[in-house]
Chain A
């Protein structure tokens, strides 16, 4: 398995180089360092000298990818690409265009993102699996039909509707929780309730539909019939046998998103005022702080690849027939 993981990690390198090159091209060729400097310095009383100073202070005055004026390896090292993009490979995110340390900000802001993402994932998984199991149990009955219709309806509604509707109903009309905001420690709970509820309701439709399909596929297999023939309770059949065998597709969906949970949700964090990494990216895009956007794109790619590798590993844990080689 170790060899497999090492091989997968090596495969990741060209992918990350590709991601890096594309983001570099987007941010430095389409949007020149002069443009970035002007955005950061503002319009008023701006002169060329100020633009030049700003670029020099942040290393944007160097050539893009090849420095003919330098010697030896410096021809590649003394470039914007090396300074701003290549260093990402060693997780040196550098400073944002406003001077703040990006690594520090990421470490600070990942916790609020996780505070929403982890409960949403765990509770959502429990609810979705339970409801899907119930629908599978009552398959072809009126409960199943109503459940499926409700699921399709819920998954057809925009997440913005849930957010605005949730804020209107739960916070504005019923005054049950704050409409937005965040706090440290246990005080954060009252702020997390609404985004988590909204996330759960928004995800319950598609989640239960997906898991119901998986369970129904399993429930018609021979081993289920055998289990029933042995006289096992239906609850034992479902939770012990069906659920265990349905774990592979469930894991596919869950493990792959585990690492990127901490990247946060762009929309939810913005609407609920949660200071996580999702809103960090939104803020950076609005401020045209491409150092942050570049770092977050790279980090997102790394985490996605890690998620895929973890998924492969988890297959072996739930299904002994699977061998990584």
Chain B
């Protein structure tokens, strides 16, 4: 009786094995089991990228973070943009006909010279003419019940509950339409910056410049008091500083001279928003379904967001209404040799679709890049050694594994600065007396940022000699003479002996305060907590220990740390700044007295105040780039170096890797609308993916064999026990 059962079992098992094996063999014909995308996409002209955290805002009045701008910059078109290839960065027209030139007026309305003193300027006027014929992406907000009419009878501006019930995402709207971009759309968006419910991050800054913006906000606020949920048609309220001149021209009036304003015109904050779109999204029923302008942007740019599921994937697709734009014909020296001018003059964009997948963890992200499923990648600290070799001279090269895969490395110094700061209001470390100055200088020497960059940043950075990073006008190759010496043509940090000598001069010989006889205790305030921060904090302690100063770490949470900084209660801290625009003013204002953080809530975190520096800043701010401005900047940096409110920290280097099939990539830290320039050779990509991702099946066969080998004796043993007599020595029935 047992024999047929065993035979039956073995028959079932062998059939199962055959079925699995047949399935696996047939599946071998299908390539790339690990392909996270649809196989049908392989022929399409798609770029694959990722994002680590879902963007908070895609409304151009609100979005500011780099992970938001990577989307908004492809969709919205402000009047200006940066030249993709030229360095230093140059502004050029995008939607505008030309880069506007400010006209300055005095209090009597007389036109002033371009170089007029800022004190004489009562207003600056920018008149911006946009290109006619630019069309918006297709969108239901533009759809009219009677497409031939120009009246305001829009299909979806007053949605009924029945209509709402059928809508879940924006793509559920049956009709879409487009319309031409007009100057009034830019004016509408600038008005939105003042809307009390939008909370634009630059509102606080812009009220200092745009005439009437603060009053405009108050007017809107008053209207909201009567009905806080009502939609406000901003066309009905005039803003004195912004007006429509004609269909394609608008005018912005600033209350003062502010030459840096033109850089803001290259940011999505100043992109157009049509009133129809604002009206459409203001419907409460859509908000309840999370269909908002903050979620579904509407622009005139080369791409439009067709899928917005930031929990998984965001997809940009070519905007069918996009007019086309020519790839640059010229760049900086070396661009032609780097193949960056191969597509010169060709119509952009080159890529039809860009798929961004949510990738929170480094390991899957990095492995997908190596498998060819992402076209480019950053270099995380986990994968740094696998990807990059740093030579003794600090030069970065790719490892053999990367070069074998045809991967290339792009490096650039970011337009950022990470610095340590001294609170100049602090009675010990702050102030402008010689004692504190010498103490700060000794610490600046002792704090070895070269070591910091090497240990914590894999060598990716250059020590700061001043606040301005490379690539920004005013940056100089020289050294900070208070911290470095030039030895054999290279900067060399001064010795610890010199730092100790400075301490002696300051009255802190061997870390003892000579006036009290007590050891000098200093405090480092930080939001870094937990085991991950321990190495960095230990490094900080060790640096101070070199000059016998005890450093006490005051770790706290981010909110408390920010509060301390606002109150001017921190003593020594770390801080950073990413450029908003490529102008030295955007870095030097970090040391401008009236911009101090304590009391005034500015960006001068060290609360540094030096009248001469401030005076020079005010002059530098309004000068055009040239020898005069460079000279003023040099003086300012010299003053700041002497006073030493910062430990000058470092300017980070950005490393990025790209596969050989991705073309026209050039690091552009300040420019964000770079997708349109890129091109993908999808044939090469498909070939490489197929080569790299063949499924390896033998371990599966091995597992099946192992399972059979395990199950068969167990089954045999089971059957034997079933057949065993009740009085045998079987263990069945015995207590465990």
* A residues adjacent to B (C-beta < 8 A): 31-32, 35, 38-50, 53-54, 56-57, 98-101, 104-105, 108-109, 134, 136-141, 143-144, 164, 167, 171-183, 187, 190-191, 216, 219-220, 225, 228, 233-235, 270-273, 275, 279-280, 283, 286-287
Between-chain CB contacts (< 8 Å), 27 pairs: A35-B562, A38-B559, A44-B64, A45-B201, A46-B204, A100-B295, A104-B289, A144-B736, A171-B364, A174-B697, A174-B700, A175-B695, A176-B33, A178-B373, A179-B367, A180-B359, A180-B364, A181-B36, A233-B722, A235-B718, A235-B722, A271-B360, A273-B360, A273-B361, A275-B309, A279-B360, A283-B54
What 5 A-B pairs have minimum CB-CB distances, sorted nearest first? Answer: A275-B311, A180-B364, A47-B204, A178-B36, A35-B559
* Selected contact of B359 from candidates A40, A109, A273, CB within 8 Å: A273
How far in angstroms is the closest Cβ of chain A from B336?
A: 37
Closest to A135 in B: B736
* Other 16 A-B pairs with CB < 8 A, given A40-B56, A180-B36, A234-B721: A38-B562, A41-B199, A42-B65, A44-B580, A45-B202, A48-B601, A101-B287, A139-B736, A171-B34, A175-B696, A179-B371, A216-B736, A234-B732, A271-B364, A279-B311, A287-B56
- CB pair A234–B289 under 8 Å, yes or no, is no
Q: Which residue of A lies closest to B597 (CB)?
A: A43
Q: Establish whether residues B736 and A286, one from each chain, have CB atoms under 8 Å apart when the complex forms.
A: no
Contacts of A216 in B (CB 8 A): 736
Q: Are B204 and A190 in contact, with the CB atoms below 8 A?
A: no
Listed in ascending order, the chain B residues whose CB lies under 8 Å from chain A are 32-36, 38, 53-54, 56-57, 64-65, 196-197, 199, 201-205, 287-290, 292, 294-295, 309, 311-312, 357-361, 363-364, 367-368, 371, 373, 558-559, 562-563, 580, 601, 603, 693-697, 699-700, 714, 717-718, 721-722, 726, 731-736
Q: Which residues of B contact A271 (CB under 8 A)?
A: 360-361, 363-364
Q: Is the CB–CB distance between B731 and A139 below 8 Å?
A: yes
Known: A46-B204, A172-B367, A273-B364. A190 touches B358 (CB 8 A): no
Q: Which residues on B sit within 8 Å (CB–CB) of A140?
A: 731, 734, 736
Q: Which of B34, B57, B201 contacts A177 (CB 8 A)?
A: B34
Q: Find A174's partner among B38, B199, B695 (CB 8 Å cutoff).
A: B695
Give the CA-CA distance A101 to B294 in the complex, in Å.
13
A179 CA / B33 CA spacing, docked (Å): 10
Which of A35, A187, A273, A286 is the one whose CB lies under 8 Å from B38? A187
Q: Which of B54, B57, B196, B360 contacts A53 (CB 8 A)?
A: B196
CB atoms of A57 and B311 under 8 A apart = no
A45 to B580, alpha carbons, bound, how many Å? 11
Given known contacts A53-B196, A179-B368, A101 and B601 CB-to-CB distance under 8 angstroms:
no
Whether A98 lies near B57 (C-beta < 8 A) is yes
Given contacts A39-B558, A46-B204, contact A220 B36 (CB under 8 A): no
Assembled-state Cα–Cα distance A140/B36 (Å): 46
Shortest C-beta distance, B270 to chain A (Å), equals 15
Shortest beta-carbon distance from B597 to chain A in Å: 10
Contact B290 A174 (CB under 8 A): no
Contact of A109 among B311, B580, B693, B718 (CB under 8 A): B311
Known contacts A100-B290, A220-B735, A273-B357: A179-B364 contact under CB 8 Å: yes
B736's closest neighbor in chain A, by CB? A139
Q: Which residues of B contact A139 (CB under 8 A)?
A: 731, 736
Give the residues in chain A near B601, CB-CB below 8 Å: 46-48
Q: Which residues of B contact A174 (CB under 8 A)?
A: 695-697, 699-700
Given A100-B290, A234-B721, check contact A108 B311 (CB 8 Å).
Answer: yes
The answer for the CA separation of A104 and B714 in the assembled complex, in Å, is: 51
Given contacts A45-B201, A47-B204, A48-B601, contact A104 B36 (CB under 8 A): no
| A42-B290 in contact (CB<8A) | no
Distance in angstroms between the alpha carbons of A141 and B53 in the assembled complex: 52
- The distance in angstroms between the C-alpha atoms of A44 and B590, with both chains bound, is 12
Contact A175 B32 (CB under 8 A): yes
Which A residues are CB-close (under 8 A) to B202?
Answer: 45
Q: In the bound complex, do residue B368 and residue A180 qualify as a contact, i.e. CB atoms below 8 Å apart?
A: yes
Cross-chain contact A101 with B199 (CB below 8 angstroms)? no
Q: Decide: B695 and A176 in contact? CB cutoff 8 A.
A: yes
Q: Which chain B positions have C-beta within 8 A of A50?
A: 199, 201, 203-204
